[in-house]
Amino acid sequence: MKVLLIGCGKMGGAMLRRWVDNTNHAFTVVDPFANDLPDSVSLVRDAGELGEQCFEIIIVAVKPQMVADVLPAYQKHITGGGCAVSIAAGCSMARISGLLGDVATVRVMPNLPALIGRGATGLYAGDSCTAQHREQVTTLIDSVGKSFWVNSEDELDRLTAISGSGPGYVFQFLHSYISAARELGFTEETARALVLQTVSGAAKMAEQSDQSMEELRNSVTSKNGTTEAGLNVLNANGTLDELLKHTTDAAYKRAIELQ
């Protein structure tokens, strides 16, 4: 299958490398500044260098503010029955599809861990997408983590507030947790190692367990013990629960504003 990637920045470039390693597709990249691409990838600097080439999948990975100027030049380069895949955040299905000539379109919302193959990626398919389109896109996205298909663009916005922005919440929590460890007297190096091992170990345990989060929490919380004392501060009167609700709601509202 011939795949065209328009734009090859940090996210697009990292995903491309995993696609090259995990699929048999022939990739062409359009980017005036790209360099150090895998040997098997063809590189052109603009649409004019494509000639009469056509592609089964065109992946839109340019900045959202560029799509209106960039995409119309690629209408003639998508095959009949082809599919557009957009990872341009904030660009609606109708906007992407219209700029490319009303083609079947899938919107994709990756998150930062896709860079290391551990992404949680949301996908939404337009009405004109076939089962084959969905299968093709799933194959691509599963090579950078896990795919989560949603049923509407609104649901994709809600997913953005959870997994798209989520790594930022986690990194902030880790920063605060490491700072707390340093306040207890640990060096920066030891505090970082302790916190990262604790968090990654707990997350892996939860991933492998059939127990609920409440059950896992209770399994490490002895009555009147150290964990209970900490939890009584961390989530006093549901403070943490409410904070996370407000956090994700703010991100969701902003995702809607950016449409």
DSSP state letters, 107-120: EEE--GGGGGT-EE
Is residue 16 within 8 Å of 38, Cβ to Cβ?
Answer: yes
User: From CA 65, how far away is CA 88, in angstroms rounded?
Assistant: 9
**Long-range contacts formed by 156-159: CB under 8 A, 24+ apart:** 156/107, 156/109, 156/122, 156/124, 157/252, 157/255, 157/256, 157/259, 158/252, 158/255, 159/109, 159/122
Q: Which amino acid is at 157?
A: D
| Tokens 């959870």 belong to residue | 162
SS3 89: coil
What pLDDT is attached to residue 15? 92
pTM of the entire structure? Answer: 0.90
Question: What are 50's two structure tokens?
Answer: 């494509």
Angle at 130 between CA 7 and CA 50, to 5 degrees: 30
In sequence order, which ranges of the chain are alpha helices (DSSP H)? 10-22, 67-70, 93-99, 131-142, 153-159, 166-183, 188-208, 213-219, 226-234, 239-257
Question: What are 259's two structure tokens?
Answer: 């449409």
Pairing of strands 104-109, 119-125: antiparallel
What pLDDT is attached to residue 185? 98
Low-confidence ranges of the chain (pLDDT < 70): none
Domains of the chain: residue spans and CATH: 2-156 (3.40.50.720), 166-257 (1.10.3730.10)
SS3 7: coil
